[in-house]
Structure 1
């Protein structure tokens, strides 16, 4: 007989006034990163901000290309750029913001590829990374772990053993 497995995640629903000072900075930097997105095809500007263990913030944004799918999402430009330029840093918080060109911010959830990369960064650094995303009615969702976005992620343990 089939067994049912229930998966539960907890998401805090906040107002911007309820963010900690570090969260407010990260949220603001994600929104600001949308200004430099290169999105001439989709007109959808996405910014990501990584709060680092030294208190600084590292940004990324989506970068499109006419040869789809050669572009890259904001979440991955931020994480990959950080890994290249500051590999010793640990990510202690993250925010992602999205808006149409010259428009108001909208709910924008990370794509599947970004969720996989984000979850792997948590595994690599061995600690949860809280994530802020815009929810409906100007609320902010605080996920306590990136793994909450992808509870059945692919990890190195899913690979065959090395010989």
Structure 2
């Protein structure tokens, strides 16, 4: 079993789409992230129609990873609905998730994201965000952290 199979197996049982109320629904997208330490962290989406609360599966998995380990670097991400990513945009993180990953660490530009589970096609976050607006600011912040 390769790492992508492990990621899929870790997240697939979380896929249980349901409405928590007439305004809130959950579990219709799930994700698994391999952290820098090689451990797998999972999450599912939770959305409210008011727009006040919307947490994608990828950000939920990142939150769980940080909460459990203090890590902010994701080596790999697999996100899906009822079946593994099958090409195109079927497994792609939304813009907010892409932005959040970049804001956590510039190292996340190397994060591999599954495009097609069957063929094992992947892209990196850098390929999805080639000219990220926050690079200079993040580099300065990281340099300041090293000085302290």
Where on the TM-score scale, by shorter chain, does this alignment land: which range?
0.5 to 0.7
Give the number of the structure whose alpha-carbon radius of gyration is greater. 1
Query: Could you list the runs of 5+ residues in structure 2 that have no partner in the other structure?
Result: 142-148
Query: 1:73 and 1:81 mapped to 2: Cα distance?
Result: 12
Number of residue pairs the alignment of both structures matches: 133
Query: 2:39 and 2:49 mapped to 1: Cα distance?
Result: 33
Q: 1:108 to 1:88 in 2, by over 3 A?
A: closer
- Where relative contact order (Cα < 8 A, 6+ residues apart) is larger, the structure is 1
Q: Counterparts in 2 of 1:70-149, with a 5 A limit?
A: 70-88=53-71, 90-99=73-82, 107-123=90-106, 125=107, 128-134=110-116, 139-143=119-123, 145-149=124-128
Residue 15 of structure 2 aligns to a residue in which SS?
Answer: helix
Q: Does structure 1 retain, via aligned residues, the 8 Å contact 2:72–2:104?
A: no
1:156, CA displacement in angstroms? Answer: 5.3
Q: 2:10 aligns with which of 16, 29, 48?
A: 29
Q: What TM-score do the two structures reach when normalised by structure 2? A: 0.68
Q: What TM-score do the two structures reach when normalised by structure 1? A: 0.63
Query: 2:25 and 2:70 mapped to 1: Cα distance?
Result: 31
Residue 64 of structure 1 aligns to a residue in which SS?
Answer: strand
Q: 1:83 to 1:146 in 2, by over 3 A?
A: same
Query: Could you list the runs of 5+ residues in structure 1 that have no partner in the other structure?
Result: 1-19
Q: Deviations over 1:94-147 (max 9, x none)?
A: 211123xxxx56624321111111233451x47722111347xx655311x212
Q: Deviations over 1:60-84 (max 9, x none)?
A: 1101124224121111111122222
CA RMSD of aligned residues (A): 3.3
Instruction: Identify, as 1 or 2, the structure richer in strand.
Output: 2
